[in-house]
Amino acid sequence: MDETQLPGRLVTLTDVARTAGVGESTVSRVLRNHGSYSKRAGERVAEAVARLGYVPNRLAGSLAGQGASARLVGVVIPSLANVVFPDLLRGLTSALDAEGIPCVIGVSDYDPDREEALVAALLSWRPAALLLTGLEHNPGTVALAQASGVRVVEMIDTDGAGIDAVVGFSNRAVGAASARHLITRGYRRIAYLGHDLRVDLRAGKRLAGFEHALGEAGLALSDKEIRPGPSSPAAGRAGLEALLTRVSDLDAVYFSNDDMALGGYFACLAAGLAVPGRLALFGFNGLDFAAAMPQPLSTVRTPRLEIGRQAAACLTSAGPKTIDLGFELIEGATA
């Protein structure tokens, strides 16, 4: 690299054009491989780019380009603490990186007002698409998204109406399938152990589906323990201990997710309770560790990576649609 530029000024396309001895438009055409140019022009431009260490300015490029939308996508997720969302991002980035489209992320902390603020902030970068989590948003969020005219994809949840495209699975159906599994296995005195449902609306939908299926079988939840704060093995352990002191004859527990279930499993180990003989455990998500447990956790595997990938695939298509990717019940050995 031949730092012939003025100090403090970055190399621009004009510099490249001058160095290569061609016009700006030619440089632009070569760099984007768009339109026709001679082999000779291509070589001279490539040489100049390498020599000057030119890095294109996409702010300018996007501003000038058609539709003025940037080759970026905005993503709003509620949290990074729950493995599910990094997994979602993983699926997304694996698909988008191939096209060289980066994600601009915002974390809402499960707060709809924060989500609205983030959507506004992200839209100000004129992303090619906006990816949201879940179907529940402030009216203002919906209005912003619609007025922007960009593709909107809502991920994870299909229980309800979306703004534009929706990719996910039915949380209600997951809850119902989980309940039916427990019922089939003969469990009758079943409790629910979850984290804060006001913030995690999807967990609430699973619980609703669970209770509904229980009701269809003439059963009801024996007890319900909601721990404040986010889900974690620690909350699961403490929650199960609380549940057990309260109700002595439970035979199964449905957890809001695998992290909570792992904590519950640890509580059983610590208390010497046989699983599933004395107490059955059922989780949600199908995380990595579930299969490695001495007794594989009974849970439901969700297509998290696939949701990310399909959401990325949605960006190129147009028109509203819903993609239900389903889920897989893993029988495991704990319920």
Binding footprint of DNA on the chain (CB under 7 A): 9-10, 12-14, 21-26, 28-29, 31-32, 34-38, 40-41, 56-57, 60-61, 63-66, 68
H helix or E strand, kind and range, residue 106: strand 103-107
- Packing angle of the helix pair 39-52, 24-32 (nearest 10 deg): 90
Integer Cα distance of 242 and 160 in angstroms: 34
Residue 81 contacts a second copy per CB under 8 A: yes
Angle CA(295)–CA(205)–CA(254) in degrees, nearest 5?
A: 25
Residue 217 contacts a second copy per CB under 8 A: no
- Residue in 37, 42, 123, 219 binding a second copy, rule: CB under 8 A: 123
Q: Considering CB distances under 5 to 8 angstroms, the limit depending on partner class, which of DNA, a second copy, none binds residue 185?
A: none
Residue 318 contacts a second copy per CB under 8 A: no
The helix/strand/coil state of 255 is strand
Question: What count of Cα atoms within 13 Å lies in the side-chain half-sphere of residue 230?
Answer: 11
Q: Considering CB distances under 5 to 8 angstroms, the limit depending on partner class, which of a second copy, DNA, none binds residue 31?
A: DNA
Answer yes or no: are the C-beta atoms of 257 and 285 closer than 8 Å: yes
Integer Cα distance of 333 and 298 in angstroms: 6
In the complex with a second copy, which residue's Cβ is closer, 25 or 124?
124
- Residue in 62, 141, 158, 310 binding a second copy, rule: CB under 8 A: 62
Residue 237 contacts a second copy per CB under 8 A: yes
With CA atoms as reference, report the closest residue to 108 among 135, 132, 72: 132
* Closest approach of a second copy to the CB of residue 263, in Å: 5
DSSP string across 127-143:
-SEEEEESS---HHHHH
Alpha helices in the chain (DSSP H): 13-20, 24-32, 39-52, 58-64, 84-97, 112-123, 139-148, 171-184, 201-216, 233-246, 258-271, 288-292, 304-314
Q: Considering CB distances under 5 to 8 angstroms, the limit depending on partner class, which of a second copy, DNA, none binds residue 36?
A: DNA
Residue 315 contacts a second copy per CB under 8 A: no
Residue 263 contacts a second copy per CB under 8 A: yes
- Residue in 17, 20, 83, 177 binding a second copy, rule: CB under 8 A: 83
- Residue in 112, 175, 209, 236 binding a second copy, rule: CB under 8 A: 236
- Packing angle of the helix pair 84-97, 304-314 (nearest 10 deg): 40
In the complex with DNA, which residue's Cβ is closer, 17 or 190?
17
Question: What count of Cα atoms within 13 Å lies in the side-chain half-sphere of residue 207?
Answer: 22
Binding residues vs a second copy (CB under 8 A): 1, 3, 8, 10, 53, 55-60, 62-63, 68, 70, 72, 74, 80-81, 83, 85-87, 89-90, 93-94, 97, 100, 102-107, 118, 120-126, 143-144, 147-149, 232-234, 236-237, 259, 262-263, 266, 269-270, 288-289, 291-294
